[in-house]
Structure 1
Amino acid sequence: MFHKIIAVLAGFIITVISTTGYTGIVILMAIESACIPLPSEIIMPFAGYLVSTGRFDLYLAATAGAIGCNVGSIFAYELGKRGGRAVVDRWGRYVLMSHSDLDRAERFFSRWGDLTVLVCRLLPAIRSFIAFPAGVARMNLLRFHFYTFIGSWPWCFGLAWVGMKLGEQWRTDPRLSGILHTLDFLIVGLILAGGIWFVWHRLKRPASKV
């Protein structure tokens, strides 16, 4: 069962990007930014790998990822604006959001104001949830989307660049190619196993726990 879950997750990401191109990057990054645990740390490096094969352009891939962040954030922003903390009380565990996540984001807002969105889009984990507290704070929508794009672009670019460089090495260094050929399933399995453990752990934790 566990191996089937890993295969489905890996296959989903690879299939979407491989078959739909830049649109697939937008779709997957939109899912991630809608508070759904589909890690950009897997999505963008694979897009970067396709840059190394010549299928994608690095800058366009990063831009597609940033656009996806904006698209997905619309849902989370509106949910926070219209529902507030009551949404976390009732539904937080289903999108892996707890009060501690919301409290952390609100502390950022207290210190940095609207720049919180820009700063948090550069941080792992919290970047996926920042749109919700921005909605709770009723941040100006135009500034929200501007900071979301500006903060998301370097994050997407950096991850895609890493994937591109690894792809280049994989294709040009016979030793690395041989190692990766042996370990690729193990590496992907460990990454996804960590993601599944994270999801399972958060689903078991009550949303009100701080």
Structure 2
Amino acid sequence: MEFLGSLLTFLIDIVGSFGYFGILLIVGLEYACFPLPSEVVLTFFGLSASQGEFSLIGVIIFSIIGGLLGSLICYAIGYYGGVPLQEWLGRKFPSSQKSMLALNKWFKKYGKPAVLLARIVPLTRTYVSLLAGAEKFSLKYFILYSSLGISIWNIFLVSLGYFIGDNLPLINSIMEKYTFVTLAILIIAVIIFIYLKFFKKEKNTSK
């Protein structure tokens, strides 16, 4: 929660100082593999638009431009870094190996359109530009499919933030009304998880 609070403060400061270009800068950094969660960043910008600070169309356009510019930076790094860069990423970030393997499979199976697919899947979004550059994908097709994927992802999250901001009173009333139901569902989900994780495992071990 402390990280989230610091991130929101950072976003407010940047956007307050630079407006739409602040949106372009922050989204560009996120797509250039800086550790900024797009789910939070883009939803926040949509929320800001719902409060009249920006226009919804303006946020969407500048976020897409920023995303494409950030992706091109990563593409260039991957293009000139090549295989050694992939190997370094695997050593430095072991958790990235699963995503990189998935991307390699998609590239072999679907070819260039795999860039579009990877753009809308959270676990592969981070590395698709680097890998596309390392694989020497055509820049023309990289821009085409990246633009489509970035547009889908950004429009969805920005619109989600806009909807939340535009319906805050309704959402608050629903949450207050159904707090007990929500709590009951969470408790049941935790019980089921514990059973599946531990008791079922012990049962299989005993066999």
With the length of structure 2 as denominator, give the TM-score of the two structures: 0.75
Closer, same or farther in 2 for the Cα pair 1:49/1:177, shift >3 Å?
farther
Contact 1:66 1:149 in 2 (8 A): yes
Shift of 1:137: 1.4
Closer, same or farther in 2 for the Cα pair 1:50/1:177, shift >3 Å?
farther
Equivalents in 1 of 2:62, 2:94: separation in Å? Answer: 25
Percent identical pairs in the alignment equals 28
Unaligned runs of 5+ in 2: 177-207
Q: Which residue in 2 is equivalent to 1:89?
A: 87
Shift of 1:71: 0.8
Equivalents in 2 of 1:62, 1:148: separation in Å? Answer: 15
Shift of 1:162: 1.0
Closer, same or farther in 2 for the Cα pair 1:174/1:64, shift >3 Å?
closer
Q: Which residue in 1 is equivalent to 2:149?
A: 151
Equivalents in 2 of 1:113, 1:97: separation in Å? Answer: 24
Alpha-carbon displacement from aligned partner over 1:67-102 (angstroms, at most 9, x marks no partner): 111111122111211112311333556678733322
The residue type paired with residue 82 of structure 1 is Y
Q: Which residue in 2 is equivalent to 1:35?
A: 33
With the length of structure 1 as denominator, give the TM-score of the two structures: 0.74
The residue type paired with residue 84 of structure 1 is G
Equivalents in 1 of 2:94, 2:65: separation in Å? Answer: 23
Contact 2:27 2:41 in 1 (8 A): yes
Is 2:47 aligned against 1:10?
no
Q: How does 1:1-210 map to 2 (within 5 A)?
A: 3=2, 5-91=3-89, 98-170=96-168, 172-173=169-170, 175-176=172-173
Contact 1:88 1:99 in 2 (8 A): no
Contact 1:77 1:135 in 2 (8 A): yes
Equivalents in 2 of 1:73, 1:52: separation in Å? Answer: 27
Equivalents in 2 of 1:28, 1:177: separation in Å? Answer: 33
Alpha-carbon displacement from aligned partner over 1:88-134 (angstroms, at most 9, x marks no partner): 33355667873332221111111111111111111113112110111
Shift of 1:8: 2.6
SS for the counterpart of 1:13 is: helix
Alpha-carbon displacement from aligned partner over 1:141-172 (angstroms, at most 9, x marks no partner): 122112111111121111111111111122x4
Structure (1 or 2) with the larger CA radius of gyration = 2
Equivalents in 1 of 2:45, 2:69: separation in Å? Answer: 18
Q: Which residue in 1 is equivalent to 2:182?
A: none
The residue type paired with residue 138 of structure 2 is N
Closer, same or farther in 2 for the Cα pair 1:38/1:92, shift >3 Å?
farther
Closer, same or farther in 2 for the Cα pair 1:20/1:177, shift >3 Å?
farther
Higher relative contact order (CA 8 A, sep 6+): 1
Shift of 1:177: 10
Contact 2:117 2:149 in 1 (8 A): yes
CA RMSD of aligned residues (A): 2.5
Unaligned runs of 5+ in 1: 180-210
